[in-house]
Amino acid sequence: MKARLEGMGDFRVVVVRNSVLAGALACMMAGQPALTQAQQDVPQQQTIPDGPKPQTIPDAPNPQGLPVGPVTPGAGTTPESNGDNSAARAQDGGVPSRLPESAAQKQDDGPPPEIPTGGQGPDAFTLRVQTNFVEVPFTVKDNKQRLVPGLTWRDVRVYENNLRQKLDLFTVDPFPLSVALVIDQSMTYDNMAKVNNSLSALQGAFTPYDEVSVFTYNNGPKMQTDFTGAQSARLEAVLERSKVTGREPIYYDTTGPLGQNININGGQDSHTDPNTNATHGTSILGIQNVPRDVHTLNDAILAAGTALSKTKTGRRRIIYVISDGREYGSTAKFSQVVKYLNTNKIAVYGTLVGDSSLPVIGFLDRIHLPLQMRDNILPAYANATGGNFDGEFRQKGIETSFAKIAEEVRTQYTVGYYTHEPFIDGKYRTLEVKVLRPNLTVIAKKGYYPTAADSRPTGVVSVK
């Protein structure tokens, strides 16, 4: 059957190959909807050779049934079937749905802290959000004063104001050190000679990544050099220049004619002639007072702490004191200096020389008898700031103490947590670090003073 279609000057031949009924039946078998009446009027066309060829469209894939087995009513809704119980097993008697809880998981430790991979060091402490983050370094020793390695975060408990804190960071990586070296030049000549001969071994205790500044004090503190490389030639030259002879022991003769004070205008208006005041007056009992030597250790530690407070974050701030620990004549008070050090995260370490390094005298200085003045305040500084000291009487012991103290600082544990207390109140917060192992001693700072600078955002702000 042929039909003629009139167009714009051209003629086409349409051949109807099948009937309308056959076309509808074919569409139904192929999964396509039946053609409408308008579509049936226009049968499938076969174009002449000069026209475009129709594209072949592949048939859609047939749906395939999913294997669905019988479902037991209520299965999958009980705690055992959901894996809430370690004894839960599959219905066919298979393996448990999860492993049984270990003894460590049963402890009330909370989620684990962030444990950075080895070698990250201070990069793990880069704060990227505005938060109240507290960093607590500490050292652990056994009953023989040996360092204890291998502790994990599950062995550590940290308390702030007697409240346990959730650990958010735990690392054993070493930190680069910023060390303010304080050398006592007010010691006697025999002790000063031991220190001078030992200073050549000081640089070997530090690494090229550390920086060191040098302070000396006699009648007052003096900065010999600002922070420089620990292995630099400049530090070596400054240490050589810091060697002095020390002081001669002073003996006062109170039996001669010039050993007595001359009182002018006896009675209530009497006073001591300053030109003949050989013993700085007398005590209440009439015993002559022997003048004390000036040892401005407080002022020297404060000057070193002021320089350390300006160093970059991400470094351990250490004051290393080489002294006999005596203090007299400083303008700064001990409590004021300790508050400044705890506010700026500075710890005091030291090598104790002289008579205070002897076992008996050193023990009395550490326990501090009540109503007695301290002849050695270096242990008090170390205890208040989380540092430590090593008492050595001989030159060889002084040389080895440098490396011993540096190793102790470099192998500290460090934990961090987010405190819930506001940082802007400035109130003192007590700290206590405990280790859940027997016969161990924990050396850490007793507390800190918060500052608003600790809660400022640093780096790129990110959300954890």
Sequential DSSP letters for 279-314: SS-B-TTSPBPPPPPPB-HHHHHHHHHHHHTTSPSS
Q: Which of 446, 435, 381, 390 is nearest to 413 (CA)?
A: 435
Instruction: Render pLDDT for 302-313 as a digit per residue (tens, 0 to 9).
Output: 999 999 999 988
- What is the distance between the alpha carbons of residues 134 and 225, in angstroms, rounded to a whole number? 31
Segment 227-253 mean pLDDT: 85
The kind and range of the H/E element at 236 are helix 233-241
Q: Which of 178-182, 317-321, 331-335, 449-453 has the lowest mean pLDDT?
A: 449-453
Residues with Cβ within 8 Å of 260's Cβ and at least 6 positions away in sequence, in order, are 254, 278
pLDDT band at 354 (very low <50, low <70, confident <90, very high): confident
Instruction: Render pLDDT for 38-68 as a digit per residue (tens, 0 to 9).
Output: 455 545 555 555 556 666 666 666 666 555 5
Please check the confidence at residue 189 and state whether its pLDDT lies above 80: yes
pLDDT of residue 12: 46
Q: Which of 3-12, 340-349, 350-359, 391-400 has the lowest mean pLDDT?
A: 3-12
Please check the confidence at residue 78 and state whether its pLDDT lies above 90: no
Q: Are 147 and 284 in contact (CB under 8 A)?
A: no
pLDDT of residue 355: 76
Strand spans (E) along 61-167: 133-142, 156-160, 163-164
pLDDT band at 7 (very low <50, low <70, confident <90, very high): very low
Rg value, the chain, Cα: 42
How far, in whole angstroms, is CA 401 from its chain's centroid? 25
Name the residue ranges covered by the structural domains of the chain: 2-41, 177-249+294-410, 254-292
Q: How many degrees, rounded to 5, is the angle at CA 52 between CA 49 and CA 54?
A: 110
Per the prediction, the chain carries an average pLDDT of 75
| Helix orientation angle between 359-367 and 378-385, rounded to the nearest 10 degrees | 50
Segment 236-251 mean pLDDT: 84
pLDDT of residue 242: 93
Please check the confidence at residue 398 and state whether its pLDDT lies above 70: yes
pLDDT band at 241 (very low <50, low <70, confident <90, very high): very high
pLDDT band at 130 (very low <50, low <70, confident <90, very high): very low
Q: For 317, how many CA atoms within 13 A lie in the half-sphere containing its CB?
A: 23
pLDDT of residue 86: 46
DSSP structure string for 341-404: HHHTTEEEEEEE-SGGGSHHHHHHHHH--TT---S--HHHHHHHHT--EEE--SHHHHHHHHHH
Q: Are 383 and 389 in contact (CB under 8 A)?
A: no
Please check the confidence at residue 156 and state whether its pLDDT lies above 80: yes
pLDDT band at 116 (very low <50, low <70, confident <90, very high): confident
Q: Which of 174, 171, 154 is nearest to 115 (CA)?
A: 171
Q: In this structure, is the dihedral angle defined by the CA atoms of residues 85, 91, 97 and 102, taken in order, positive or negative?
A: positive
pLDDT band at 104 (very low <50, low <70, confident <90, very high): very low
Q: Which of 116-125, 234-243, 314-323, 419-428 has the lowest mean pLDDT?
A: 116-125
Phi then psi for 295, rounded to 5 degrees? Answer: -135, 95
pLDDT of residue 432: 95
Residues with Cβ within 8 Å of 84's Cβ and at least 6 positions away in sequence, in order, are none
Please check the confidence at residue 346 and state whether its pLDDT lies above 80: yes
Q: Which of 127, 209, 205, 206 is nearest to 176 (CA)?
A: 209
Q: Which of 113-127, 201-215, 406-420, 433-447 has the lowest mean pLDDT?
A: 113-127
Instruction: Render pLDDT for 14-36 as a digit per residue (tens, 0 to 9).
Output: 444 445 555 555 555 555 555 45
| pTM for the predicted model, two decimal places | 0.65
Instruction: Render pLDDT for 424-458 as a digit per residue (tens, 0 to 9).
Output: 677 899 999 999 999 999 999 999 988 766 655 54
CATH number of 177-249+294-410: 3.40.50.410
Q: Which residues pair with 134 in a beta bridge?
A: 417
Quick one: what percent of the chain has pLDDT higher than 70? 57
pLDDT of residue 55: 65
Category of 458 on φ-ψ map: left (φ > 0), alpha (ψ -120 to 50) or beta: beta
Please check the confidence at residue 247 and state whether its pLDDT lies above 50: yes
